[in-house]
Chain A
Amino acid sequence: MLRLVNVRKVFNAGTVNEKVALDGVSLTVNDGDFATIIGSNGAGKSTLFNCIGGSFYVDEGSVFLDDRNITYVPDYKRAVQIGRLFQDPMKGTAPHMTIEENLALAYLRVAKKKSVFSRISQAERNMFRERLALLDMGLEDRMKQPVGLLSGGQRQALTLLMATLIPPKILLLDEHTAALDPATADKVIELTKRVVQENHLACLMITHNMHSALEMGNRTLMMDSGRIVLDISGEERAGLTVDGLLEKFSAGAGRELDNDRILFSKIE
């Protein structure tokens, strides 16, 4: 269970560029919750993830994971329990290392008890191969190739596999399909659904696709100006259409949703 209490984050405090990116956000994500997040440009969605993942520390408030206060735990330590994917497919993998080596690194999250001087074992290699085969992209036959040779979609699928190789407590997806072409994006979305379901992960997914926002998961959050303005689930969410969602947003935020990527994806 993830719990944020009154989290506040201000950039460039005390200068003309001061920007309140998160303005007292409180949020509880229960085990097995899969919440989609939408919001205007600059609403603070990525900042929210950065505060959860520990890319920077919050200015006020606290972050709890399973009732453990992780507010001041550094990002690399949180990574044991928090998996992340970014919009940029390049961000999650080491391009000059092979697929196998990348997976071995991801596997270090649990293999901590093993000696740092041990090498990739045959058993691990077989396990990696099996898991890669599930992606259905033929990557299991390319394990000795550098990741830099893969397409963006393949890299993102691999990153998803790496982030969930050891199921984390919570998975954070920041528009992880936005840089992919529609067909590849669909594939990665399907994969996401399956991985989250199979591992019963708690998951937060930022998206600009209103349809995925409603169709995926069991809960939808809308953010505006550093606040969560709407948090719907269950009955209320079940019958909702995209237009209905937009209406609810303007009611909650007091203005229209302005997100260039959402607008573009609506035209499609």
Chain B
Amino acid sequence: MGSLLSLPVIISALELGFIYALVALALFLSYSILNIADLSTDGCFTLGCAVGAQVVIMGHPVLALFAAMLAGVCSGYIMALLQTKLGVESILAGIIVNTGLYTVNLAVMGFSSNLSIFKSDTIYSLFKDVLGNTSYKLVVSIVIVLIACAVMAWFLGTRLGLSIRATGDNSDMVKASSINPGFTITVGLCISGSLTALSGCLIGQYQKSCDINLGTGMVTIALASLIIGETLVGKSSVFRRIVGVIVGSCLYRFAIAVALRLHIPAECLKLVSAVIVAVAIASPYLKSQVAFQRRKMAAVSGGKGGDGAC
């Protein structure tokens, strides 16, 4: 293990794990709670990165985070508008918003497909002197992500949070409580958009660059993290589920790090992620199948002399 994962590799896996956990947290809200497959995630992630990068270039790395989140809220709002006011199905709404965002993102980046923020201060470089050279990126990421998670956990216990949770669970019942499900869906998607964009913004500042294709495949990766977390940590309480999101995201990054250490060529990395995602998503089902087969075997061997022979 030691030879496979050196300390710098572990640290950078954790850094990425925490930053990307925000996207998984966004999908936790939109997918697990509201039951909406939000395919605008990819574009929204890039949007956050692009908006953040521009504000960083202007010299405001902290403001960049809020600007990115605001952009994410707008993206989520349009997604919700299509669904609740115009009757577009959620999958289609996501695809439409994602397509539109490509142009928006290019525009934000000044119609270039790449933006470098190498010369500017970032949220990370601000804390470099205080926190020391090895762990400053990790500490900053962890702090931001933990704040986001704490706010989310608190929020889901409030009246508004409860109504959002009920919307995905039984929207008839939400109406019976005199709450408009259209409203709760809108709030949920706006929050989820802001988290996705925040993650994009952090990645941009982390890598000191922004690329138009940065978000490609993000929704699958986040979904995998979410499901890895749910499988390993469980989903009995909101707190557990949020912890699961972080654990899942970090584990996914470790898996990728291991793949890289095994000298799997970079071109094959997408395939590796696809396999990890498929395994993660299939594993709860496989687990139940294995348990069932075990029970069946036990029943058959236990009932010897009966019709077990045929």
> Which residues from chain A sit less than 8 Å from chain B, CB to CB?
74-77, 79-80, 83-84, 90-97, 101-102, 104-106, 108-109, 111-112, 114-120, 162-163
In the complex, how many angstroms separate the beta carbon of A176 from the nearest chain B beta carbon? Answer: 13
Complex contact A84–B176 (CB within 8 A) = yes
User: Can you list 9 pairs linking A and B with CB atoms under 8 Å apart?
Assistant: A76-B175, A94-B165, A94-B170, A95-B169, A95-B170, A105-B174, A111-B159, A114-B159, A115-B159
Q: B170-193: contact bitstring with A at CB < 8 Å (1 yes, 0 no)?
A: 101111111111000000000000
Question: Once the chains are docked, how many angstroms separate the CA of A102 from the CA of B158?
Answer: 13
Complex contact A76–B158 (CB within 8 A) = no
Question: Once the chains are docked, how many angstroms separate the CA of A211 from the CA of B267?
Answer: 75
Instruction: Note all chain B residues with C-beta closer than 8 A to A104.
Output: 159, 162
Q: A78's closest neighbor in chain B, by CB?
A: B178
Knowing A76-B179, A106-B177, A108-B177 touch, does A116 contact B159 (C-beta < 8 A)?
yes
In the complex, how many angstroms separate the beta carbon of B157 from the nearest chain A beta carbon? Answer: 5
In the complex, how many angstroms separate the beta carbon of B154 from the nearest chain A beta carbon? Answer: 8
> Which residues from chain B sit less than 8 Å from chain A, CB to CB?
155, 157-160, 162-163, 165-166, 169-170, 172-181
Instruction: Note all chain B residues with C-beta closer than 8 A to A105.
Output: 162-163, 166, 173-174, 177, 179
Instruction: Note all chain A residues with C-beta closer than 8 A to B179.
Output: 76, 105, 108
Knowing A76-B179, A76-B180, A77-B178 touch, does A108 contact B163 (C-beta < 8 A)?
yes
Q: Which residue, of A74, A77, A105, A115, has the highest number of chain B Cβ atoms within 10 A? A: A105
Q: B187's closest neighbor in chain A, by CB?
A: A116
Question: Once the chains are docked, how many angstroms separate the CA of A118 from the CA of B177?
Answer: 16
Complex contact B181–A118 (CB within 8 A) = no
Q: B235's closest neighbor in chain A, by CB?
A: A96
In the complex, how many angstroms separate the beta carbon of B174 from the nearest chain A beta carbon? Answer: 7
Instruction: Note all chain A residues with C-beta closer than 8 A to B175.
Output: 75-76, 79
Complex contact A91–B172 (CB within 8 A) = yes
Instruction: Note all chain A residues with C-beta closer than 8 A to B158.
Output: 116-119
Question: Once the chains are docked, how many angstroms separate the CA of A102 from the CA of B176?
Answer: 11
Instruction: Note all chain B residues with C-beta closer than 8 A to A80.
Output: 178
Question: Once the chains are docked, how many angstroms separate the CA of A117 from the CA of B158?
Answer: 5
In the complex, how many angstroms separate the beta carbon of B188 from the nearest chain A beta carbon? Answer: 13
Complex contact A101–B177 (CB within 8 A) = no
Q: Which residue, of A92, A95, A117, has the highest number of chain B Cβ atoms within 10 A? A: A117
